[in-house]
Amino acid sequence: MPEAQRPFAGRLNVVLSRQPHPAVKAALRLPDSVVLAPSLDAALAELRSCEDREALETIHVIGGASVYDLALSSGVVDLLLLTHVQHQAESIETDTAMTWPLPADSPYQRVLQGVREACQWLAEA
């Protein structure tokens, strides 16, 4: 697995996989500490039953597009951090796009846009 796509060290990592078998974990060379889950519901159940649950403050969803859309439509997201990349869309090859704009009735506390607003929120969190 490329360095940039490896799980974060020192954190609980739950990976959604349509094939959550030990063979997949071995093929990706994921550490034993990484939990594979077949669905968002299963991942959330795993987090709820985690023995260190009290230490879990924030869950970050890191996509692909289908993971973003699933999390956003599930009702469990209460904060959305957006990053704006200042490039012509055609000049960057991407593999992930989420549904945008979000529906007007989205149940988010806030949508942070821009580096300044996100940094301010992170400093306060």
Q: How far apart are CA 79 and CA 29, in angstroms?
A: 31
Identify the pLDDT of residue 41: 93
E strand or H helix at 45: helix 40-48
Q: What are 96's strand-pairing partners?
A: none
Q: Report the percentage of the chain scoring pLDDT > 70.
A: 70
Reported as a single tens digit per residue, the pLDDT across 23-65 is 888 888 888 888 889 999 999 998 888 877 777 777 888 877 7
Has this prediction a pTM greater than 0.75? no
Q: How far apart are CA 125 and CA 121, in angstroms?
A: 6
Determine contact, residues 71/61, Cβ cutoff 8 Å.
Answer: yes
Identify the pLDDT of residue 27: 85
Task: Evaluate if residue 21 carries a pLDDT over 60.
Answer: yes
Sign of CA dihedral 71, 120, 110, 112: negative
Give CA 106 to chain center in angstroms.
Answer: 18
Domain boundaries, the chain: 3-124
Q: Which residue has the tokens 């607003």?
A: 117
HSE value, Cβ hemisphere, 13 Å, CA-based, for 89: 3
